[in-house]
Amino acid sequence: GTYDGSTMINYVNGTARTTTTGVSGNVASGDANLNIGNRDNDDRHLDGDVGCARLWNRALSATEVLKNYNAQKERFV
């Protein structure tokens, strides 16, 4: 997904699935762990696989997310 400081967009297979607005804070602030595929404070876990995880210092555009997905998807077919 992407996060620009106020909006989170989650993508599945290169397509935006959910958008959450009104989010604040810095991903790198605090001393909490960064969890991908599960939540730190409950038993909710991803029922699936995470093919690739990457971090950038900015929010990617939808076009960039799709381009990255298309460049990697053959690895998982």
Sketch the domain layout of the chain as residue ranges: 2-76
Query: What is the end-to-end Cα distance of the chain in Å, rounded?
Result: 21
User: Token pair of 56, please?
Assistant: 């950038």
What would the mean pLDDT of 66-72 be, rounded to a whole number? 93
> What's the pLDDT at 70?
93
> What's the pLDDT at 20?
93
- Which sign, positive or negative, has the C-alpha torsion 25, 26, 29, 33? positive
Please give the mean pLDDT across all residues of the chain. 86
What would the mean pLDDT of 18-38 be, rounded to a whole number? 80
> What's the pLDDT at 19?
95
Task: Please tell me the distance from the alpha carbon of residue 27 to that of residue 5, in angstroms, as a whole number.
Answer: 8
The whole model's pTM is what?
Answer: 0.74
> What's the pLDDT at 66?
95
